[in-house]
Amino acid sequence: MKEFKVNNLISLCLIDGKTVLFVNNREFKQCKILLLNVPIGDQPDVEMNSIDEFAEKLNFRVEYEREYVDITEEEEFMGHCSV
């Protein structure tokens, strides 16, 4: 099992091919998907400090229909763990 500790309260684990978020050692079931799929070359030229800034700069909205992206469970886990 892979684990990524964000801080003393938040951690992510790759369990049976799924990314599971834990808050204070309890599973948090609200955040289950990666929201952004940005093709190489489409990133803004400015540096961002958070995923929220990136989504705002790209005019991303949660209502958009999700596209299936062919990535492994481990790649998705690393996407959740990235800062």
The pLDDT, as a whole number, for residue 25 is: 95
pLDDT of residue 81: 79
Q: Give the model's pLDDT for residue 59.
A: 64
**Tens digit of pLDDT for each residue in 36-57?**
566 666 665 667 677 677 667 6
pLDDT at 42: 61
Number of domains in the chain: 1
Closest among 24, 22, 21 to 9, alpha carbons compared:
24
Q: Which residues of the chain have pLDDT under 70?
A: 30-46, 48, 51, 54-55, 57-69, 83
Q: Which residues contact 37 (CB under 8 A, 6 or more apart)?
A: 67, 69
Please report the pLDDT score of residue 24 as a whole number: 96
Q: If you average pLDDT over every residue of the chain, what do you get? A: 75
In which element (H, E) is residue 74 found?
Answer: helix 73-81
Structure token digits, residue 75: 């790649």
Taking the C-alpha atoms of residue 10 and residue 26, their distance in angstroms, rounded to an integer, is 9
Domain span at residue 38 reads: 2-81
Angle at 18 between CA 30 and CA 3, to 5 degrees: 90
